[in-house]
A and B are shown apart, each in its own frame.
Chain A
Amino acid sequence: MEFKTKYKEEIENLNGELATINFGPTHPATHGIFQNILQVNGEKIVSSEQTLGYIHRAFEKLAERRPYNQITPITDRLNYCSSPINNMGWHMTVEKLIQAEIPKKVDYMRIIIMELARIADHLICNSVVGVDTGALTGFTYLFQEREKIYELYEEVCGARLTTNIGRIGGFERDFSPEFHRKLKSFLIEFPKTFDQFDQLLSRNRIFMDRTKGVGPISAERAVDYGFVGPNLRAAGIDYDVRVMNPYASYQDFDFDIPVGVQGDTYDRFMVRQEEIRQSLRIIHQAYNNLPEGSYKADIPEFYLPPKEEVYHQMEALIYHFKIVMGETEVPVGEVYHAVEGGNGELGYYLISDGGRTPYRLQFRRPCFIYYQAYPEMITGQTLSDAVLTLSSLNVIAGELDA
């Protein structure tokens, strides 16, 4: 409670009457549907209470009735700014349970897509921080680039926002020539636009004055509140699942983990900026060293066979029937798998009793856990700082409510 004591005197010295303000649930500045009931004294926030659950869709319950391959579309709708990471995290969880051997090429393809998704996620967050400080220009530039990332998703899976990308065991098809062409041009064009955005805000006096010291959190409190991902790293702790528990061959790559010092809005912004550069580095490495091999693992009982084989071969017909009817046998087991999502450690806790659906599936949604710290972070700050803190935390309603 160090922040409360820090600002206690300041709050007590304010003599005005307290006013109650509903910040949300449907307010443009919340960037999602969640409510904060703020008690304000003039412009200073005295206390706040959060209400959530406005878009709760009972995903954990739904998952208990769906076959494994039908759970992927549910994961899309958690953090919908970087749905490929959620999809692939789920695929890797199931692969861990069935102990499938995944070809190196699949790992590298996944890394390219996941890092593109991380860039898209951070682009939205950072450009929206810009918008909330009043700098709308950068947002319009970066949305053009995000559009190109969505086109890349489209080349791989046909969808843009809720991607349902890949399959358990790999991808449904290899990267198309058009994907290669678009990725190459993205890797050349994107850094130019991104540098322009960086020049617009990173060392901008007005932007720095507006964001430095806004919504800070110390490293100790951040760990207490379960912070992960860029928000934790902005507070100065270099915890990253990609390095701590490497998955999908992240150990093959050379990249840096940026950390901040103050844990304030400016540090969160800068950490995300640097992570975008590091993601580009990873994509370059993965794309230049893309191994030869198959784009899918050899697990016929989970991976839908090609349609021609279904008509002419008995095994393919059997597997096709079993997968479509959702009668695939899964070993009994219990796994936890974590990936580094756009907001940090995104975990899947899966219990299988051998049935056609999970016995229990729990998502570790980073937003849900660290959003608890929000009242402590904004107490004693001004109302407009609360807006900025919220957008720099990148709280995504879909991930918050599940």
Chain B
Amino acid sequence: MSQNQKAQLLQGNEACAKGALAAGVNFFAGYPITPSTEIAEYLARNLPRRGGKFIQMEDEIASLAAVIGASIAGAKAMTATSGPGFSLMQENLGYAYMAEVPCVIVDVQRGGPSTGLPTKVSQSDTMQARWGTHGDYHSIAIAPSSVRQCFELTIRAFNLSEKYRTPVILLMDEVLGHMREKIILPDPAGIKVFNRMKPTVPPEWYQHFEINPHFVSPMASFGEGYRYNVTGLTHDPLGFPTSRSEEIQAKLDKLEKKIMHNVNDIVQVEEEFMEEAAIAVFAYGIVARAARQAIRMAQQKRIRVGLIQPLTIWPFPDIYMEQMSEQLEIIIVAELNQGQLIREVMRTNCGKAKIYGLNRFDGDILTPEQIFAKIREVR
């Protein structure tokens, strides 16, 4: 079935669901939570239409568990939630990191902490997407800033999760999830979909957590003739629990290198007007939309300010930011929280620039006027 090539008025959550279908999602397990429920409802209607499976589980803990189980059984699986649900999912998210299970978790962020503001926006799960569960692990989190990007980055999330055999978090927010924009979806024929690497050895030689130079192990599914063990206990390449220090070291090294040795492929940053700009606004997600407008307003007043929009939040774009630290004198980090990603900006800048936070956490978005006012204030 083909995507409609005409312009469509799509909601962000809808575009995310459509992107998932374009990426080949065939399993969704979730639990209703505002403002993400539209993704579940869209897939409840449309997954069976293409032979996929949808299930509403009893809570978010069970939802991510079912997603992981399905992925191990060979499905391309996802769930969608918001802050409180994302908190519940953390233990099983750690399991997916340890067991190297591809899956996509969409977090449509809302005001927190706790029940917070179910129908209002924030970006306050940013750090949680990196550090929410216990232990040492390396997460991938990507953040769209338009309805079109909701579609494109959902596909990218699936591709990254399959390529690196790891969970990927799609950080959306309430405004993005609920807003509508007129977009033309790309021709399905042009969409690149990546699938997990399958083993090329006979079953008796298969190591489900094989350590190789790429740090990504091929992944057989349950039922394909490769009978292996998966566990959340720290394990050897065969998936058997270990307490030997060299095997523990090797496993955790692998989890780190799998991501950190591939940052050139994983990390994406968009920039605008950054050539020779000494001032930058650093913004992601929905705030990047307002920031684009703000820097245009500034350019019109002949203020040379550029926009840095990380599409990849985690791993943080260290290399890019370290390079930019040579030219930047001022960075304004605009976030809908009390200052989370600003810590990473400071870390990678090493004190070379003056860094200002522009923070809004009252449930509404930062406006272009607010960002422009800050630019004028600090320049």
- Do the two shown chains form a genuine complex with each other? no
Q: Contact residues of A with B, CB < 8 Å? A: none
